[in-house]
Amino acid sequence: MNRTLKYALGVVLTTALVIPAFAQDNFPDTPDNHWAYQALLDMKKDGLLVGYPDGLFRGPRPASRYELAVAVHATYEKLKGITEGLDSQIKNLSASLDGKADKADLQSLRDALAALQNDVGGMKAWNDDIGNLKKLTDTFEKEIASLGVDVEAMKKDLGDLKDRVTALEKKKPAIDIHGTMDVLGLGGYGTSSRYGITVDGRPTGVGRDSYAGDPVGINRDLSIFHEGAFTLSTTNETGPKAEATIVIGNMIGNGSSAGAPFGTQANTLSGKNFLEGDESVYLQDFVVTFDTSVLGQNFNAEVGRVGYKISPYLFQRPDTNPYFANDRWDNGKWMFDGAILGFKLGPAKLNVFGGRTSTSDTASTGGDAIQPLTVGQYGSAFTLADAGGARPWGLDGGAGALNMTIDQMLGLHLNVPITDKAELNLAYLWLDSDTVGVLSATSTPYNRLAVYGGDLKVKLNPIDIDGGYAQSDLMYNDHSVVTTDNYAWWGNAAYKAQKWGLNAGYKEVHTNFAAPGDWGRIGTWWNPTGIMGWTAGGNIDLTDALNLKASGEWYTGINEASNTDGLTSGDKIYRYCVDLGYKLNTSWNLSLGWEYDQYNLQTVTDVFTGGKPQEQWYNIGLNYGFSSNAKLSVLWQISDYDAKGVVPFEFTSGPSADRATGGLITTQLTVKF
């Protein structure tokens, strides 16, 4: 459409152009090997050129003013028909969206809208051409009038057409629909008559019909998941805006404490691995945003099912699904039903957020929480001498953890730019539970966690520096219950060159620290507490296609009253990771990885005998990009876990108490639309 119009306008605007002889199917006197043959053929089909009564085009002959007037008028009629047709399409599609959005084939509507938007997008260059066409109308006014055309009306129409083109460029459908479709396969297996283990503590090689028998292969330890997320966003440029994401799939695990993809983590090898949940339909987010003011104070608001994060040590959702890559699940935001209000205080910004966090889905799973917010660590992660009961694992530390579910919260987050290269973040949160818990050691009740602290970030190109402090006070209503050994502090520095980089840091996370954050993992122990030590890492581009990353972490236990039956300053923990990435071509990427975690533990009287348990995983990954919106990812992870006779690291069931060897193969197909 756009190409034909451009050719037509080109002929009209090159008034005295002499075109050599042409061909047969077009005009009899025009050869088919001429550069403008197709243009003349298209214009003839569209009625823009008719030739002479004898059917010839007579290219070498200069055009008369009368002939140019005919071409100008024909181009005007063609242009008018195109814009009226586009206007009609937009009205029809708008009616379909407004009246039948619940029944219409959304993909068909999207395809039609995309085609229409392409047509409208192609009109962006028309305004100059319409202006030139209007000038030609003035030039050939007498000749056009002699055709019986109302020239004044034609001029007015051309002016209106220019305005309509501008309006069509800006016109958008009321709702934009986009999202992702994911299919995920997880196949586990065991080797040497043992189960394997994943980095989030789940067994592999466990059959669905037996949990105490011999380990099985992928044919019996296979789970297939699917998830479709459809995000609907309003496209208006003024007034309140809205966005909602509707999710359909079987990734929400069954059970009262399920939630998130695959449900909660396992603590021993006696549990199931990855099991599909019932088919779920739920809203992951539902947000209305607008700007307003109260008592002269302007602020912006997000209301509905919203998400928020601050920093890893204060308020950030951990990635509980390490084998499923998805932006919505991996963005670190805790979701809640409530509001986020943002106030500008000079150069600073204050966000006030709060609401209910115990949201549930609407599926047949009995209302499982989609994303349960649970805190917190209290006391040592090694509190029981029973085999398997004290192995550090999971996001809440395992044995001795509070496991307090947060039902509602209120938070304040202040961001203060100090210079254009530094900013300070300060936060205070009240996290409340509807259930009163009791500390077993002191019989003290609790139902609230207060979290507060801040961090400073400085960018001194090419060096970045950050550090901060966070504390969590366990409370019963307004009374403090635990206010000792409940803090963390950290500092990091990173140097970034063009093809390489280095980073180093130090952190202390004390025994009773319980913020809902995401500050790291040591093997299957997520958000570890009662440790202090150094971290370092680096990356280098060996070639344009080959990249190497490596990191190390060296910790010791912390001697404090809350940790007398767990880690001490004599205990050492080491973690090493190496990753090699190779870009095979524009579509294929290969990655190789290794993780090694080792504990060097002293004997703790009446708790466990010391030793050197270790965990290892080997990763082989392959990614294929079909396009910018479609990707296939394959990961083969091989596990080797060895308790080395240290009782808390042994398993309560399974063919081998000390060892877990096996693997997991994951395959994920993602399509964005």
396: pLDDT strictly greater than 70: no
Q: How many Cβ atoms from other residues are within 10 Å of residue 129's Cβ?
A: 21
Alpha-carbon distance of 188 to 111, in angstroms, equals 40
**How many domains does the chain fold into?**
2
Contacts of residue 73, Cβ cutoff 8 Å, sequence gap at least 6: 144, 147, 149, 154
Average confidence score pLDDT of the chain: 80
Three-class secondary structure of residue 519 per DSSP = coil
User: What is the reported pLDDT for 425?
Assistant: 97
pLDDT digits (tens, 9 = 90+) for 609-660: 889 999 999 999 999 999 989 999 999 999 999 999 887 788 777 778 889 9
Handedness of CA 249, 250, 253, 255 (dihedral sign): positive
**Which pLDDT score is estimated for 107?**
57
For residues 497 and 108, the model is more confident at: 497
55: in domain:
no
Res. 272 pLDDT band, cuts 50 70 90: low
Selected residue with higher pLDDT from 375 and 616: 616
Residue 306 pLDDT greater than 70, yes or no = yes
**Domain end point (choices 147, 173, 199):** 173
d(CA 472, CA 401): 14
Phi-psi map region of 462: left, alpha, beta (phi>0 left; psi -120 to 50 alpha): alpha
| Same-domain check for residues 101 and 237 | no
Q: Are residues 6 and 104 in the same domain?
A: yes
Span 326-339, mean pLDDT? Answer: 93
Q: Which helix (H) or strand (E) holds 4?
A: helix 2-13
Q: What percent of the chain has pLDDT over 70?
A: 66
Instruction: Select from 119, 148, 173 the last residue of a domain.
Output: 173
Do residue 537 and residue 494 come from a single domain? yes
Confidence of residue 665 (pLDDT cuts 50, 70, 90): very high
Do both 408 and 529 map to the same domain?
A: yes
* Mean pLDDT for the stretch of residues 390-413: 75
CA 280 to chain centroid = 20
Domain-ending residue, one of 150, 173, 196: 173
Same domain (yes/no): 185, 66: no
Name, in order, each residue with C-beta under 8 angstroms of 604's C-beta and a sequence gap of 6 or more.
382, 565, 566, 568, 610
pLDDT of residue 167: 65
Residues 127 and 209 in one domain: no
Of 86-100, 151-165, 168-182, 249-263, the poorest mean pLDDT is in 86-100
Hey, how many other C-beta atoms are within 10 angstroms of the C-beta on 249?
Answer: 22
Residue 567 falls within a domain, yes or no?
yes
Do 606 and 462 have their domain in common? yes
Name the least confident of 15-19, 321-325, 596-600. 15-19
Residues sharing a CB contact under 8 Å with residue 36, sequence separation 6 or more, in sequence order: 19, 22
Q: Residue 671 carries which side chain, given as an amino acid letter?
A: V
**Per-residue model confidence (pLDDT) at position 555:** 97
Q: Which two tokens stand for residue 164?
A: 């309509």
Q: 522 vs 97, 589, 607, 615, 666, CA distance in Å?
A: 51, 27, 21, 9, 22
Q: CB–CB of 393/415 below 8 Å?
A: no
Across 235-386, where does the E strand assignment appear?
A: 241-249, 280-294, 297-308, 334-345, 348-356, 374-375
Position 17 pLDDT exceeds 50: no
Are both 400 and 510 inside the same structural domain? yes
Question: Is 41 part of any domain?
Answer: no
Dihedral, 205, 209, 214, 219 alpha carbons, nearest 10: -40
Q: Is 259 helix (H, G, I), strand (E, B) or coil?
A: coil
Residue 213 CA neighbour count, 13 Å, CB half: 8
CA distance to 198, 382, 629, per residue, from 647 (Å): 20, 10, 48
Distance (Å, rounded) from C-alpha 381 to C-alpha 509? Answer: 13
Looking at the structure, tell me whether residues 209 and 305 fall in a common domain: yes
For range 418-442, the mean pLDDT:
91
**How far is it, in rounded angstroms, from Cα 519 to Cα 527?**
6
Residue 317 within any structural domain of the chain: yes
User: What digits encode the pLDDT tens for the residues 18-75?
Assistant: 333 333 455 565 566 554 555 545 555 555 555 555 555 555 555 555 565 666 666 6
Q: Residue 79 belongs to what H/E stretch? A: helix 65-100
152 pLDDT tier (thresholds 50, 70, 90): confident
Examine residue 39 and state whether it is found in any structural domain, yes or no.
no
| CATH number for position 524 | 2.40.160.10
Counting every residue written for the chain, the total comes to 673
**3-class secondary-structure state, position 488:** strand
* Residue 114 in domain: yes
Identify which has the larger pLDDT, 334 or 44.
Answer: 334
Split at pLDDT 50, 70, 90, the class of 148 is low
pLDDT at 469 over 90: yes
What is the reported pLDDT for 450?
97
138 with 190, same domain?
A: no
> What six digits make up the tokens of 131?
């202006």
- DSSP state at residue 369: B
Indicate the pLDDT class of residue 505, thresholds 50, 70 and 90.
Answer: very high
2 three-class SS? helix
Query: For 118, how many CA atoms within 13 A lie in the half-sphere containing its CB?
Result: 9
- What SS3 string covers 345-362? ECCEEEEEEEEECCCECC
Q: Is the dihedral of CA 602, 606, 608, 611 positive or negative?
A: positive
Q: Which of 43-47, 108-112, 454-458 has the highest mean pLDDT?
A: 454-458
Count the alpha carbons within 13 Å of 361 in the hemisphere toward its beta carbon. 33
Show the domain range for 458.
177-672
Q: 386, 424, 431: which is closest to 407 by C-alpha?
A: 431
Q: What are the tokens at 49?
A: 């050129």
| Position 216 in a domain | yes
Answer whether 393's CB lies under 8 Å from 265's CB: yes
Q: How far apart are CA 142 and CA 151, in angstroms?
A: 9
pLDDT at 398: 52
pLDDT per residue over 536-567, tens digit each? Answer: 999 999 999 999 999 999 999 998 877 767 78
Alpha carbon distance 115, 96 (integer Å): 16
Evaluate if residue 474 carries a pLDDT over 50.
Answer: yes
CA-based radius of gyration for the chain: 34
pLDDT of residue 403 exceeding 90: no
The answer to whether residue 29 sits within a structural domain is no
Angle between helix 106-121 and 151-170 (nearest 10)? 130
Across the range 484-510, mean pLDDT stands at 96
Instruction: Say if residue 333 is in the same domain as residue 439.
Output: yes
Whole-structure pTM value:
0.75
Same domain membership, residue 213 and residue 165? no
Contact status, residue 533 vs residue 504, Cβ threshold 8 Å: no
User: How far is Cα 305 from Cα 282, in angstroms, rounded to an integer?
Assistant: 11
